[in-house]
Amino acid sequence: MRFAILGGGPAGTQAATYAARLGVQVTLVERDVVGGAADLWDCIPSKAMIATGGAVSFLGRTEGMGLAAVEPALDLERLRQRVASITSRLRESAEAILTSQDVEIIRGEGRMTGPHGVVVDTAEGRRELEADAVLLSTGSRPRIPEWAPIDGDRVLTTRDAYPPKELPEHVVVIGSGVTGVEFVHMFRSLGSGVTLIVSRQQVLPRKDPEVAAVLEEDFLRRGVKLMKGARATAVDRGETGVSVRCDDGRVAAGSHALLAIGSLPNSERLGLESAGVEVDAGGYVPINRHCQTNVPHIYAAGDLSGKLPLSSVASMQGRKVAEHVAIGHTVSHRHLNYDKAASAIFTEPEIADVGLAEADAFAEGRKVRVTKVPFAATAKALINDDARGFVKIVSDPATGVVLGGSIVGQHAAELISMVALAVTAGLRVQDIVESMLVHPTLSEALAEAAE
């Protein structure tokens, strides 16, 4: 079985490693960096910079911990080295794992020439491959509308900001979804002034309003300007700054503008027509529950598949594809249920959720039990001098099965794992309540919320 993979992000590398382990002969084609956009531009650099921002904000609260006040000074060069070192270590370890599994890595841009043919343009020339199965995992890129004159200097996409050449004095962030709010938090905690353009009346329009409200409150407390109900229509670049014009006539001025208004799939130039692979109106490649496209031996995974744009989801899809290619079915016989994917927003406080949200249950008219505990009642939160936020658990009132949960507060992205396990394994609230947890920990709030 010869398996060719186009794109070495989380979906591609996970599929390659796992398929090779199952005895498949794998070739991975990557035009840029093994680890993908996830490691190079998206998940990792943003979280590395947010962690530095978190250190700044922690040092701003030392007095609450019984220490004298500290004035941290940002060193952009050190920050740049820190981000570069993390991404290169991840790349090296991803490559080492692949080579140890005998995965052939071809560096170059690949495309399909027919249902089984792949051609790769490399620095050394053209390589042609024949494959029994193919995975398309070429990811996505930031969406740039024609009114945004991106220059990588003052008008930025998320890929120009790790870190920027200079810390913006005042950045206007366009887009208040997950990526937008993470960048607001990142720049604000590093010391920039920030204006956030919010097209609706709520940041994070798809999230539970109660969760979004906690974040908005925190942004306002930290001096972030929220421009609600405004849609950006133009960015004008001047000598020393930018002006972002909105559809209602309002203008947001700043030293820089950053665009975070979604992404587009990398499906062009992949030769999909020659392979007979269908693409939807948005350019995504539709897949079935095995991640197969309309051509059964050609799979798609990750952002390209138009499912949840999360690295964790891409990796899991890659794993399922590997199983399907190697043995024709998924080992656990458990298909991916995208409704059970945990996700987090790395702001301050952090926000994480999984499974059924209270607002969605309400909208569907579904009867659920919702229990909520504020961190203010948890010893460890007081010890950490950060009692913001809450834990909310949604369960089935008849069976006690955990259906979902939201956590707002410090380490929410870590804490949600227990709820994610409960949702995936069909555990009951009683299972959480009866776990004998470590005291004092933030996890105790979960057990209390499950009570």
Ligand X SMILES: Cc1cc2nc3c(=O)[nH]c(=O)nc-3n(C[C@H](O)[C@H](O)[C@H](O)COP(=O)(O)OP(=O)(O)OC[C@H]3O[C@@H](n4cnc5c(N)ncnc54)[C@H](O)[C@@H]3O)c2cc1C
CA 118/CA 105 separation, integer angstroms:
14
Which range in 6-14, 187-195, 202-210, 377-385 contacts ligand X by CB under 6 A? 6-14
In this complex, which beta carbon is closest to ligand X, that of residue 280 or of residue 451? 280
Listed residue (126, 113, 138) closest to 28, CA to CA: 138
CB of 258 to ligand X, least distance (A): 10
In this complex, which beta carbon is closest to ligand X, that of residue 10 or of residue 54? 10
In this complex, which beta carbon is closest to ligand X, that of residue 230 or of residue 301? 301
Sign of the Cα torsion 202, 207, 210, 215 reads: negative
* Residue in 11, 83, 194, 357 binding ligand X, rule: CB under 6 A: 11
User: Are the C-beta atoms of residues 34 and 13 closer than 8 Å to each other?
Assistant: yes
Which range in 8-16, 273-281, 395-403, 436-444 contacts ligand X by CB under 6 A? 8-16
299: phi then psi, degrees, rounded to nearest 5 = -110, 160
In this complex, which beta carbon is closest to ligand X, that of residue 336 or of residue 432? 336
Query: Binding of ligand X at residue 158 (CB under 6 A)?
Result: yes
* Residue in 43, 214, 394, 402 binding ligand X, rule: CB under 6 A: 43
159-188 footprint of ligand X as x/- string (CB under 6 A)? --------------------x---------
Structure tokens at 181: 């709010």
Q: What does the DSSP assignment read for 78-103? A: HHHHHHHHHHHHHHHHHHHHHHHTT-
CB of 41 to ligand X, least distance (A): 7
Structure tokens at 403: 């259906």
Q: Give 363-424 as a 3 state SS string.
A: HCCCCCEEEEEEHHHCHHHHHCCCCCCEEEEEECCCCCEEEEEEEECCCHHHHHHHHHHHHH
Residue whose structure tokens are 């490559």: 95
Which range in 3-11, 96-104, 145-153, 422-430 contacts ligand X by CB under 6 A? 3-11
* Residue in 3, 8, 291, 324 binding ligand X, rule: CB under 6 A: 8
* Residue in 202, 312, 371, 430 binding ligand X, rule: CB under 6 A: 312
* DSSP H helices in 241-377: 272-275, 311-327, 358-363
CB of 38 to ligand X, least distance (A): 3
* Residue in 2, 31, 127, 237 binding ligand X, rule: CB under 6 A: 31
CA 342/CA 404 separation, integer angstroms:
9
Q: Could you give the angle at the alpha carbon of 122 between the alpha carbons of 120 and 128, nearest 5°?
A: 30
Query: Binding of ligand X at residue 293 (CB under 6 A)?
Result: no
Structure tokens at 374: 């504020």
In this complex, which beta carbon is closest to ligand X, that of residue 195 or of residue 311? 311
Which range in 223-231, 238-246, 304-312, 428-436 contacts ligand X by CB under 6 A? 304-312
Query: Binding of ligand X at residue 42 (CB under 6 A)?
Result: yes
* DSSP H helices in 242-281: 272-275
Query: Binding of ligand X at residue 353 (CB under 6 A)?
Result: no
In this complex, which beta carbon is closest to ligand X, that of residue 32 or of residue 104? 32
CB of 109 to ligand X, least distance (A): 5
Cβ-based neighbour number of residue 12 at 10 Å: 31
Measure CA of the first residue to CA of the last residue in the chain; give whole Å: 51
Which range in 7-15, 17-25, 92-100, 365-373 contacts ligand X by CB under 6 A? 7-15
CB of 399 to ligand X, least distance (A): 30
**Pairing, β 133-136 against β 298-300:** parallel
Number of residues counted as binding ligand X (CB under 6 A) = 38
Site for ligand X in 118-147 (CB under 6 A): 137-140
In this complex, which beta carbon is closest to ligand X, that of residue 301 or of residue 427? 301
* Residue in 3, 4, 5, 9 binding ligand X, rule: CB under 6 A: 9
* Residue in 4, 12, 17, 188 binding ligand X, rule: CB under 6 A: 12
CB of 64 to ligand X, least distance (A): 28
CA 71/CA 198 separation, integer angstroms:
32
In this complex, which beta carbon is closest to ligand X, that of residue 195 or of residue 315? 315
Residue 164, burial from CB neighbour count under 10 angstroms (0-12, 13-18, 19+): buried
* Residue in 5, 15, 20, 37 binding ligand X, rule: CB under 6 A: 37
CA 63/CA 41 separation, integer angstroms:
35
Query: Binding of ligand X at residue 279 (CB under 6 A)?
Result: no
In 3-state terms, what secondary structure has residue 74? coil
Query: Binding of ligand X at residue 30 (CB under 6 A)?
Result: yes
Listed residue (290, 291, 269, 294) closest to 280, CA to CA: 294
Interface contacts to ligand X, rule CB under 6 A: 6-12, 29-33, 36-38, 42-43, 46-47, 109-111, 137-140, 158, 179, 266, 270, 302-304, 309-312, 314
